[in-house]
Chain A
């Protein structure tokens, strides 16, 4: 019948009524197949599915291929692409000005492990509340293929040059010096990476997520230890991860067997299904041990290595007012006439 009206199918929205398109960004300009694009997609999914309000998020990055990616997700969030290696400082300042923001930083191995090592490790020491994602491909992409400080010993460049220096392990550094959520993943492992990002969203301290993200142009050849084929052969998952947001009924799906639940700050749960091994992600020493073991076996260990939900964040330690400092009214930021008179009297 010609009078029948077709109702379009209802748009799929998340719990705050936004569609997934509201979490997307500009069109990527990175190479087709770049691992970084997969990371952007996981970020989009995680923020959409958890229903995080994009206006409350601020994105940060340094310089490099990885640091371009914040333009490609969360287009409704403010973003700041700063200078090379100094994203932690920009993010720190922004969140000092507005502690109600959720900060998401994307960086690379050059940005973090070389020029930005100082800022990285000091941010770690402060347990500054930020989701800090390292898109780690072991190579300088934007300058066309030099080794970075996370390139594995003995790995080769396209030109055949062999790397004769050992790599920094950013997870080991983060673990040792004070990050309260430390994870490693692989850009090709959609399920795991998404669960890790969701957990990081629920975590209130610093989350360092080292994502092996192969460079298809300069570092996806035989001899590279951060290529897709190498990762497929050498990746070892520590465990399987599930993330149950606080607004879902936790009782819905209780997996059997060896399961550990870690309660996050907002009441959500990181659920870890162990793979035949007794691993406690709240034990920092155990995390250090499994990292060392994996390294000696030539494995890339992925999963949530460490979670600490009790340590205060840097912002909590400052005892600042709850509302954003940046927009406090003059009545709260300019002391009174009497105060100035009192100070002047003391100086007479």
Chain B
């Protein structure tokens, strides 16, 4: 028996058109440190296991416990996995934000909430399902200390009942989450989940506009975050030296890498590591160590975020000027300064492309998915050694830290390319070498590694002026020759960077250009523009800087091109301006979003419609 009040059905508005089977957004509002992450991951995974394309986005504070956190699960039978602004289903667990969370909902949305919050008094146009969490948790979790952590699993049971998520899949996801070693914890959580389900079953009649139904949209796919994918990419790229300094949102990249390296990069005969991962004292040291290792022949890397990149500026200039390979991951967060450390952005673009004093420019790779994080990491290591230069791999907090549905990663078929390195035998044949001489016309000289046992092997690396034999010089002609060689090398890179994804729409007068995680929102926006406004839009996603000829041709083919930026100052567009002719620049329009959340399609669509004058 229950005395709970369920809001009257007659007050329900007509269902929004997007609210159908396997097409909805569910948001859980909690405080961080309350164990909600487990409940959220389990729910997302259960939906995934039922074959529905799904994405999960965690909006969390820069804090360890007690501040508001929102986790949004989007299920989409159409396969859209970008963020969607509109929330169809809210689980309101956090008293601090509950009122505002409820007031923001569209009419017809569903709210599961902690009964004492009395949220049903706020509006009459929503479906309210009050749950007495504290009463339900006590019998299933006798140990009072653990109740706070287990309590959240109750809403998984309630949501499973209301949305028709199969409980067996919840159980499977739970077991996977806890693993065999924590079977006891899994059982405790399962008890809470069942309590929630049983309570909802006996109390409510679910007549919701949205539900989950088994389909076949996720077969063979994996769930992984971008940081883990980059970590795996680095491992399979044969990276041997990792030097890093913890910073949100990049820390888990190296932490995950440590885990995998310990499993898959231990020499079976000697039980010794074929890698070194060193936590440095700061980013000045982490990039210095990575460069030292790259110089001495290792595939080396570091991972950081904007503040770290700023600190690395001086060393990156040395890497550029002295032709030293290294891979630097920037998992971007919101700047400037400390900014919003746990929110996402693409705002390190211009500062990194031209990082360091003097004339410098650096290649940047822009993966947009876990699969690309994996495969483009491998490309980045090859590229760094081939061109003997620092290579940046840009992801962002959205890609790096959120869980993504992904195709499984293909095994790298191409052998590892170590670039132009002369060994003692080569030197014996050649009689000698000049470190920075452009022998092959690609601006890349031959190098030797310290430890090469030959009298002609040694050279002196320096960040001061050097001629092609690496000797100190302040001569005008030596300086210009070397700088021109570096500029030429950059132009050669342009022909070797990963090519953009280009999808021309039939009859399209307008096109989009974007990078990285803007992909999901912009693709969905292309559909919205076509379906809702009859506007055909072509699409080009850059995978790297320097920009390629395909981009120029794309702009030439279209009347107007919308450059999508996740930053205030239209940095991608700004970088394009540096490279394009005036008549092409004139075609560019800007769509910007810089609120710290993952970009959503509606924001893009609305802006384009406005600028198109529709």
- Chain A residues near B (Cβ < 8 Å): 22, 53-56, 58, 70-71, 75-83, 86, 88-98, 100-101, 118-119, 122, 318-322, 324-328, 330, 332-335, 337, 339-340, 343-344, 347-348
Contacts and interface: CB of A to CB of B under 8 A. Distances in A.
B463 A82 contact: yes
Contact of A325 (B237, B276, B409): B276
B260 A86 contact: no
B458 interface: yes
B275 A320 contact: yes
Interface of B: 220-224, 232, 235-241, 243, 260, 264-265, 267, 270, 272-276, 278, 280-282, 284-300, 314-315, 318, 408-409, 411-412, 415-416, 448-455, 457-464, 472
A86 B317 CA distance: 14
Nearest to B238: A333
B221 A348 contact: yes
Given A101-B450, A119-B284, A335-B235, A93 B463 contact: no
Contacts of A76: 455, 457-458
B315 A98 contact: no
A319 B294 contact: no
Contacts, number: 226
A180 to B, nearest CB: 19
A83 B357 CA distance: 13
Contacts of A55: 451-454, 457-458
Given A81-B460, A333-B274, A348-B223, 19 more contacts: A55-B458, A81-B462, A83-B288, A89-B285, A92-B292, A93-B295, A93-B298, A97-B293, A119-B288, A319-B272, A325-B298, A326-B241, A326-B449, A333-B265, A335-B264, A337-B411, A340-B232, A343-B264, A344-B222
Contact of B289 (A89, A325, A339): A89
- Please give me the 7 A-B residue pairs with the lowest Cβ-Cβ distance, nearest first: A93-B292, A89-B288, A326-B297, A333-B238, A97-B298, A78-B450, A93-B289
B57 to A, nearest CB: 18
29 contacts: A55-B454, A58-B450, A76-B455, A76-B457, A77-B458, A78-B461, A80-B462, A82-B292, A83-B288, A89-B288, A92-B285, A92-B288, A94-B296, A96-B278, A98-B297, A101-B451, A118-B282, A119-B284, A119-B285, A122-B280, A319-B273, A320-B275, A321-B273, A324-B451, A325-B274, A325-B275, A343-B232, A343-B264, A347-B223
A151 B461 CA distance: 30
A322 B264 CA distance: 18
Given A93-B289, A335-B264, A320 B238 contact: no
B236 to A, nearest CB: 6
Contacts of A327: 297, 449
Given A326-B293, A340-B411, A81 B298 contact: no
B285 A94 contact: no
Contact of B264 (A78, A91, A324, A339): A339
A93 B291 contact: yes
Contacts of A326: 240-241, 293, 296-299, 449
A56 B451 contact: yes
Given A318-B273, A319-B272, A58 B451 contact: yes
A78 B290 contact: no
Given A79-B461, A325-B275, A93 B450 contact: no
**Residue among A82, A98, A324 with the most chain B CB within 10 A?**
A82
Contacts of A328: 238, 240, 274
Given A327-B449, A333-B240, A343-B260, A90 B275 contact: no
